[in-house]
């Protein structure tokens, strides 16, 4: 199980991951897909509301801790799909991602505020586990065909999940702006926060070389992955009965 930093040093972050995990445990425990979706959406909105708290935004702008977190993506046919999923989650938290090779496979480097990095790791590992569990059940006529379909599935899953998370964030920010009475004030604070991450990422990563684009995905596998993402339990931490897919 992935380890997460203790966010207790920030009074606005204390207990957030615990509440998110409890909601996702409820989503995992129910056999009713509608209940699971309700718990998942509530958790996603909790994270989004937490991020736009005016006091928290002000604290982050003045003294928030920025860091780079390493996420191992392994090697094999699915590694770029894993990267796409991580980037989909990271982008909705204003984090920046680059990647590089290592003797153990691909490593992603995620730059952002510490509290956001904790949430990104939690959500990425959960969503990847759910996708891998569904991919493990996919079989086609040959091993090569199975691999191609699974790979496309993961890309479609990542793309759709990015849309769902972005929509959840936009909805919460719009409601938060109305409550605060000023859309501009919330948007400005978020833009300033993102700019701090950009500056930190530029300093931390230095010159970054563009990667070669991944190979094309199959349309049928992509659509199947996108459909699966629409019912995903966002951030779920335990996946009862799910089989690991492995590196391939």
On the question of pLDDT at 153 being above 60, the answer is yes
- The per-residue pLDDT for 37 is 60
DSSP code of residue 63: H
Name which residue leads in pLDDT, 200 or 46. Answer: 200
Three-state secondary structure call for residue 167: helix
Burial class (CB in 10 A: 0-12, 13-18, 19+), 241: exposed
Task: Quote the domain boundaries for residue 216.
Answer: 7-230
Assess contact for 78 and 245: CB atoms under 8 A.
yes
User: Within a 10 A sphere around the Cβ of 90, how many other Cβ atoms?
Assistant: 26
DSSP code of residue 95: -
Q: How far is residue 233's CA from residue 30's CA, in Å, rounded to a whole number?
A: 11
Q: How far is residue 94's CA from residue 189's CA, in Å, rounded to a whole number?
A: 12
Does residue 102 lie in a domain region?
A: yes
Give the confidence band of 34 by pLDDT, cuts at 50, 70, 90. low
Does residue 238 lie in a domain region?
A: no
Which value, to the nearest 10 degrees, does the dihedral of the CA atoms of residues 199, 160, 99, 68 take?
50
On the question of pLDDT at 228 being above 50, the answer is yes
Provide the domain count of the chain: 1
On the question of pLDDT at 240 being above 50, the answer is no
Per-residue pLDDT averaged across 61-73, rounded?
Answer: 81
- The per-residue pLDDT for 54 is 60
- Taking the chain, what is the end-to-end CA distance rounded to the nearest angstrom? 20
* % residues pLDDT > 70 (the chain): 69
Per-residue pLDDT averaged across 192-210, rounded?
Answer: 90
Per-residue pLDDT averaged across 126-131, rounded?
Answer: 78
Backbone phi, then psi, for 136, in 5-degree steps?
A: -65, -25
Assess contact for 75 and 113: CB atoms under 8 A.
no
Does residue 1 lie in a domain region?
A: no
Name which residue leads in pLDDT, 53 or 92. Answer: 92
Place of tokens 């684009």: 213
Three-state secondary structure call for residue 92: coil
Does residue 248 lie in a domain region?
A: no
Does residue 235 lie in a domain region?
A: no
- The per-residue pLDDT for 122 is 79
If you average pLDDT over every residue of the chain, what do you get? Answer: 76
- The per-residue pLDDT for 66 is 92
Name which residue leads in pLDDT, 97 or 232. Answer: 97
Token pair recorded at residue 107: 């490593």
Q: How far is residue 39's CA from residue 234's CA, in Å, rounded to a whole number?
A: 9
Give the confidence band of 182 by pLDDT, cuts at 50, 70, 90. low
Q: Give the range among 47-56, 102-111, 140-149, 173-182 with minimum mean pLDDT.
A: 173-182
Does residue 236 lie in a domain region?
A: no
Does residue 2 lie in a domain region?
A: no
Q: Give per-residue pLDDT as tens, 2-21.
A: 333 333 444 445 577 777 76
Q: Which residues contact 215 (CB under 8 A, 6 or more apart)?
A: none
Count of residues making up the chain: 248
- The per-residue pLDDT for 247 is 43
* % residues pLDDT > 90 (the chain): 29
Does residue 242 lie in a domain region?
A: no
Q: Report the side by side order of strands in the sheet with 105-113.
A: 66-74, 105-113, 96-102
């Amino acid at each position: 199980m992935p380890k997460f930093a203790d966010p207790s040093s920030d009074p606005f972050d204390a207990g957030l991951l615990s509440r998110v995990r409890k909601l996702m445990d409820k989503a995992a425990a129910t056999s009713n897909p509608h209940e699971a979706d309700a718990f998942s959406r509530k958790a996603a909105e909790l994270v989004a509301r937490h991020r736009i708290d005016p006091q928290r935004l002000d604290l982050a702008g003045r003294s928030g801790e920025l860091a780079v977190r390493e996420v191992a993506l392994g090697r094999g046919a699915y590694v770029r799909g894993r990267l796409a999923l991580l980037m989909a989650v990271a982008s909705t938290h204003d984090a920046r991602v680059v990647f590089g090779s290592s003797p153990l496979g691909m490593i992603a480097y995620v730059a952002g505020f510490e509290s956001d990095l904790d949430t990104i790791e939690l959500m990425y590992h959960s969503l990847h586990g759910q996708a891998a569990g569904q991919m493990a059940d996919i079989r086609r006529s040959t091993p090569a065909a199975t691999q191609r379909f699974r790979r496309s599935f993961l890309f479609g899953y990542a793309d759709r999940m990015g849309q769902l998370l972005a929509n959840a964030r936009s909805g919460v920010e719009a409601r938060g702006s109305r409550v605060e009475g000023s859309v501009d004030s919330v948007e400005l604070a978020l833009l300033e926060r993102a700019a701090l991450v950009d500056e930190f990422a530029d300093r931390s990563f230095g010159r970054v070389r563009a990667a070669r684009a991944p190979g094309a995905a199959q349309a049928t596998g992509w659509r199947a992955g996108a459909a699966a993402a629409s019912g995903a339990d966002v951030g779920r931490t335990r996946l009862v009965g799910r089989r690991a897919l492995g590196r391939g």
